[in-house]
Amino acid sequence: MRYFLQLAYRGTAYHGWQRQLNGLSVQEIIETALATVLRQPITIVGSGRTDAGVHAGEQFAHFEIDTAVPGHLLHSLNRLIPADIAVYDCFPVRPDDHARYTATSRYYQYQISRRKDPFRNGLVYVFTMPLSVDRMNVAAERLLHHTDFESFSKVKTDVRTFNCQIEQAYWEQKATGDLIFHIKANRFLRGMVRTIVGTLLAVGQDRLNVADFDRIILARDRKLAGHAVPAEGLSLVEVDYPVEVFANRIQAD
């Protein structure tokens, strides 16, 4: 039987979502805890592979097991895993429901603090240079008119296509002056959001104009885009699925 997990994590201490040889990952933590509770090896597949230091307010993963999961699964998992990871729900899904491929969209936020904030250290990028948010929003809107985002992808990445359908991209300025970049698409390339944000900050500083931003996208050349901003400001906040995926969902107490 296939199950979906809903979880969240602060990514500061981890080398990303995906299990790897050179550092501790969120996937490894969850798989180890599941194996302990279910008393058998478990492999999970996430909705996406967040990079080292990136956070997730909502992440989904699936795993398979021959028997029904015990009612105490969530309680036991949350006792075993560190405080910077939480599992909120576990529910059965159809055999062909896939955490990655069935997802219809992912929604990220990138948070910028305009002053040093000790209470949000590791959760925001502190950037104090003057910015034109209006100009950044004009450039961000141009993302909706393109589909090939090779210019914003890490160079060494194994993908069949650089095409993404972006349905939302804009900056929100809070009353405090802090900024949140919202972006939602069917899929994202490795490093894509952080490089888009870095390039938009160059627009906001008047080092690039909107026409330059368009030309960078059309060039399909990563060397022309801006620097990727630090991972600490980035969070995966929502993953969407067809409503049928949640037919058997029972919220945790």
Active site includes 148?
no
CA 152 to chain centroid, in Å, comes to 15
Angle, alpha carbons 30-18-26 (nearest 5°):
35
The dihedral formed by the CA atoms of 23, 86, 71 and 103, expressed in degrees to the nearest 10: -80
d(CA 188, CA 234): 13
Choosing from 51, 66, 178, 221, the catalytic residue is: 51
* Cα distance between residue 207 and residue 4, in whole Å: 45
d(CA 110, CA 52): 15
Q: What is the 3-state secondary structure (H, E, C) of 10-29?
A: CHHHCCCCCCCCCCCCHHHH
The residues, any chain, with a CB within 8 Å of residue 84's CB and separated by 6 or more, are 9, 10, 12, 13
Q: Which of 206, 202, 100 is nearest to 151 (CA)?
A: 202
Exposure letters 23-51 (e unless 16+ CB within 10 A, then b): eebbbbbbbebbeebbeeebebbbbbebb
Look up residue 100 and give its amino acid: R
- Looking at the annotation, which residues are catalytic? 51
